[in-house]
Every structure is written in C-alpha cells, then in structure tokens.
C-alpha cells in the first residue's frame, strides 16, 4: 500500500513571532506546488496563530509541540487541545524525547495526551525511540514495544481517524548521527508489526511511521526509499525554509 509521505518540521524553542512568520512565508512560497506530500510545521505556541495566518489555505498544515491531557484547568504553563485547535492546528506532537528526558513525560502521560488529541480531533504524532545505551545493550525492540504498548493502551481510533508514529532514536536527534536507512527500516518494520498487534492489519498498513533524527536534504531520499519509512520529523534542518523545502521536495529514488 502506498502511504502519502508526511514531512514535518519541529521548530522546538526557536523563533520569535516575526522570525516564525518570516520563515513560514518563505516556506509556503517554495513548497506551494508540492501536493504529493503532506507538510506540517510545529512552531512554538506563541507563534501558532500568526503563523496560521500565513499558511491557512495553503498545503502547509500546523501542529502543536505538545498538549495537556485535561480539557482545561489550573495547569500553569500548559496548553489544551481546544487552544491548539483555535490557533489552526491539525496535528500535535506527543511524547517527544526532549519532553521525556527533560520534563518527566512518561508512557502513561503520553497515553493520556494521545487520548485527548484523538477525542478533540487533532492528529497525534507520537514519538518513540531508544537511547544510545539501550541500543548498545540490544534493547531497542523491547523499548519500542514497551513505549508502543503502554502509549497506546486502551486507545480507540475511530473510523477515519489517524495516528502517526515518529521513530526517533534519541542518539540521532540533534547529533548529526542519522540512523542508516537499514537501521531505521528495521525499527519501522518492527513498529508496524506492533501496530498490527494492537489495531489490526488494515490500520497498520495505512499508518504512517515517520523517521526523525538528523534528517537533512542530503539523506532524505535514501531514508524515504525504505518500504516502511513514510515521512520525516525534522528539527534543525526545518528551521530554514530553504533546507526544509529541499527535504519536502526530495526526489524519489526509482
Ligand atoms: P533533529 O531533531 O532533526 O535536529 O535531529 C529531530 C527531532 O527532534 O524531532
């Protein structure tokens, strides 16, 4: 089955409103002809609404970098699904390794956030991945299995709803060390099997599993040539419109 490539940019804690609007404007102009791929950018919260003004009615969609699992309440510093939706978000990144590493995110909180995203009509982009020592100790698959099973526990995906999984080996994020296409493919295939176990064959075949970790214009095509790699979650190289556009517009290997 052919899955439409999903190329997404995570701007993390970079860009003021002016900078974000400027980048979004340039990006829209260079990717406007690209309809063979789904494109998303996830700017910081303060940039969401102004960036949306630039990208609405274009082929670039908006995503949040996180969301809280309650609808609203006394949760200082958090953001709700409705707030993201009201800024024009269609997607939301959940469980990024930086959230897990620095902000105490666990599989259980990831699970609750996924549930809230789906309930609210946001498409979750759920990040999983092993760290360097886990890989060296041969624990990659057991870590992915645990993150998937606990993260997706009791999650119900209704007809027509989508869920995207981002495989991001922690040792490859922001380090310049990309997983080789073969290493990434092995994990992607394993993740697809796990999805099949949880949600069944049809859902597993239609789910996009994207790769993240030092994706650049120069390595996108070879990663995307792998059968189970359906897109990219790009950090550093998504901050410049030109380099992100080159990733979006990668040339398919025949
Ligand atoms: P990177 O980040 O592309 O800078 O490695 C990827 C990510 O954190 O999603």
Whether the pLDDT of residue 254 is over 80: the answer is: no
The answer to whether the CB of 100 falls within 8 A of the CB of 111 is: no
Q: For residues 42-73, b (16+ Cβ closer than 10 Å) or e, as one string?
A: bbbeebbbebbebbeeeebbbbbbbbbbeeee
Q: Would residue 168 show up in a list of annotated catalytic residues for this protein? A: yes
Among the listed residues 216, 208, 224, 130, the one whose alpha carbon sits nearest the alpha carbon of residue 169: 130
Cα-Cα-Cα-Cα torsion 9, 172, 237, 39, nearest 10 degrees, comes to -30
| Tens digit of each residue's pLDDT (9 = 90 or more) over 157-186 | 999 999 999 999 999 998 888 889 999 999
Which DSSP string corresponds to the chain?
-PPPPEEEEE-TT---HHHHHHHHHHHHHHHTT--SSEEEEE--HHHHHHHHHHHTTSSEEEEES---SSSSSS-TT---HHHHHHTTEEEEEES-HHHHHHS---HHHHHHHHHHHHHHT-EEEEEE---HHHHHTT-HHHHHHHHHHHHTTT----TT---EEEE--GGGTTSS-PPPHHHHHHHHHHHHHHHHHHH-HHHHHH--EEEESS--TTTHHHHHTSTT--EEEESGGGSSHHHHHHHHTPPPP-
Ligand 1 contact via 197 beta carbon (within 6 Å): no
Structure tokens at 5: 């490539």
Mean pLDDT of the chain, nearest integer: 96
What phi, psi does 23 have (nearest 5°)? -65, -45
CA dist 172 and 214 (Å) reads: 6
Q: Would residue 201 show up in a list of annotated catalytic residues for this protein? A: no
Considering 54, 96, 130, 188, which one is annotated as catalytic? 96
CA dist 105 and 172 (Å) reads: 19
Ligand 1 contact via 236 beta carbon (within 6 Å): yes
Can you state the angle between helices 17-31 and 241-248, rounded to 10 degrees? 40
Whether the pLDDT of residue 1 is over 80: the answer is: no
Task: Report which protein residue has its CA nearest ligand 1's atom 2.
Answer: 235
What number does the ligand 1 atom closest to the CA of 175 have? 5
Ligand 1 contact via 233 beta carbon (within 6 Å): yes
Whether the pLDDT of residue 124 is over 70: the answer is: yes
| Tens digit of each residue's pLDDT (9 = 90 or more) over 182-220 | 999 999 999 999 999 999 999 999 999 999 999 999 999
CA dist 135 and 197 (Å) reads: 23
Query: How many residues are recorded in the chain?
Result: 254
Share of the chain above pLDDT 90, in %: 96
| Tens digit of each residue's pLDDT (9 = 90 or more) over 126-144 | 999 999 999 999 999 999 9
CA dist 208 and 70 (Å) reads: 26
The answer to whether the CB of 80 falls within 8 A of the CB of 70 is: yes
> 63 CA to middle of ligand 1, Å?
15
What number does the ligand 1 atom closest to the CA of 238 have? 3
> 229 CA to middle of ligand 1, Å?
16
């Amino acid at each position: 089955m052919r899955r439409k490539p999903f190329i997404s940019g995570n701007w993390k804690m970079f860009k003021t409103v002016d900078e974000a609007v400027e980048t979004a404007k340039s990006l829209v102009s260079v990717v406007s002809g690209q309809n063979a791929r789904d494109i998303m950018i996830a700017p910081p919260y303060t940039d969401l609404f102004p960036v949306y003004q630039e990208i609405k009615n274009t082929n670039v969609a908006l995503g949040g970098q996180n969301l809280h699992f309650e609808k609203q309440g006394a949760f200082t510093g958090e953001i709700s699904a409705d707030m993201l939706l009201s800024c024009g978000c269609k997607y939301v990144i959940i469980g990024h390794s930086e959230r897990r590493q620095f902000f105490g995110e666990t599989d259980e909180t990831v699970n609750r956030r996924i549930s809230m995203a789906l309930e609210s009509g946001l498409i979750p982009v759920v990040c999983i991945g092993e760290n360097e020592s886990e890989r060296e100790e041969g624990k990659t698959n057991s870590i992915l299995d645990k993150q998937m099973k606990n993260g997706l526990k009791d999650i119900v995906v209704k007809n027509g709803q989508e869920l995207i999984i981002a495989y991001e080996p922690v040792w490859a994020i922001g380090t310049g060390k990309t997983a080789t296409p073969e290493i990434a493919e092995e994990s992607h295939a394993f993740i697809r099997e796990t999805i099949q176990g949880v949600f069944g064959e049809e859902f597993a075949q239609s789910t996009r599993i994207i790769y993240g970790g030092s994706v650049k214009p120069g390595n996108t095509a070879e990663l995307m040539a792998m059968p189970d790699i359906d897109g990219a979650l790009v950090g550093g190289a998504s901050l410049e419109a030109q380099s992100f556009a080159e990733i979006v517009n990668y040339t398919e290997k025949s």
